[in-house]
Amino acid sequence: MYGFQAFEARAPDRRGTPFTPGSSPVLDVVYVLTALAAFALVGVIGRGVAKL
């Protein structure tokens, strides 16, 4: 009646998740921390230049 295809195993639908294959959550955290450090460094340099 239904055949074997009705019970075929399929990969779960992961379109709604932000995780993509090949990316690492640790690398994402490192990237965010590096970006924040870069902005902080620019701010410190800007304050130093303003005092000149």
**4 lies in some domain:** no
**42 lies in some domain:** yes
Q: How many domains, the chain? A: 1
pLDDT of residue 29: 94
Q: How far is CA 18 from CA 7, 15, 21, 51, in A?
A: 28, 8, 10, 44
pTM over 0.75: no
pLDDT tens figures, 5-46: 555 566 665 565 566 666 788 999 999 999 999 999 999 999
3: pLDDT strictly greater than 60: no
pLDDT of residue 14: 58
**12 lies in some domain:** no
**3 lies in some domain:** no
Nearest by Cα to 28 from 20, 38, 40, 39:
20
**16 lies in some domain:** no
**46 lies in some domain:** yes
Which residues constitute the domain of residue 38? 24-52
